[in-house]
Structure 1
């Protein structure tokens, strides 16, 4: 399994087109699993969902990057209706969610 984008070097709205083009050209037969953080109801913060189908990264903050991926994983980190730039998300919380997702993918692809 190849990984594009990390917490240190993320794929985001400004570089997404470049990476998606590279992934499709380099791995045309591969399924793309997209992992993104999302806004949610307060009682969903900390949840992780996995589903078949694409997602629209950055849609929650008003960016339209189009649909990406065949499988989507979302980590819910902040309540809907906030300005993400003003929201103080604990990096340890985000790291723990990323670790949980990575561990689950590692187990699934053993």
Structure 2
């Protein structure tokens, strides 16, 4: 039976950026057939606890905007959430069918795991903490445990420290910027060889 790998590190651990970005990059190179990267940051700007994804998306947009090989969905201005997730996934399937998709989301967990970042080598199942049935997303996902799981998860998300989530989002965005920097040269190289093959086909026909 196949087990899905999970890598985890506390966001305050100085090695977390290198360790988790390396895990993501290694996962990508297991199936290096993609020509671009899509990062989908799930969440809303209405609850502090559920704003990790959009905060990460906004930070990434500042760092990676205009990069034609990396596409960001889900920011504080334009969040990706339960109401528009299906539409976003359809757009990605149409416009970025050969993209390596990384999903980002906040989650609730056991008290002693708060602050932990997890890279999980499987699609994200968004909305699980709130009992929502939403479509899975991504080839891999990264999530941050922002607070304690409880019977009143909506209330927990409302009363999560915004400063804590901001600090966590800074680390997640650094991880994803490093992953993009590590993967993109391979994507460009691959695209160039594909373009070359296409040109030779055109000239021979």
* TM-score tier (shorter): over 0.9
RMSD: 1.2
| 1:9 Cα deviation from its structure 2 partner | 2.6
CA distance in 2, matches of 1:104, 1:39: 21
Partner of 1:12: 81
Match among 150, 157, 173 for residue 81 of structure 1: 150
Give the TM-score taking structure 1 as reference length: 0.92
| 1:7 Cα deviation from its structure 2 partner | 3.4
CA distance in 1, matches of 2:131, 2:94: 28
| 1:74 Cα deviation from its structure 2 partner | 0.5
From the two aligned structures, give the one with the greater helix fraction. Answer: 2
Q: Which runs of 5+ in 2 are unaligned?
A: 1-69, 182-205
- Larger-Rg structure: 2
Match among 39, 45, 55 for residue 114 of structure 2: 45
Give the TM-score taking structure 2 as reference length: 0.51
Report whether the alignment pairs 1:103 with 2:174. Answer: yes
CA distance in 1, matches of 2:106, 2:83: 16
**Aligned positions, number:** 110
Q: Which runs of 5+ in 1 are unaligned?
A: none
| 1:84 Cα deviation from its structure 2 partner | 2.9
CA distance in 2, matches of 1:47, 1:61: 19
Which contiguous aligned blocks of 4+ residues in structure 1 show a shift greater than 6 angstroms?
none
Question: Structure 1's 94 and 24: CA in aligned 2 closer, same or farther, altered over 3 A?
Answer: same
| 1:59 Cα deviation from its structure 2 partner | 1.1
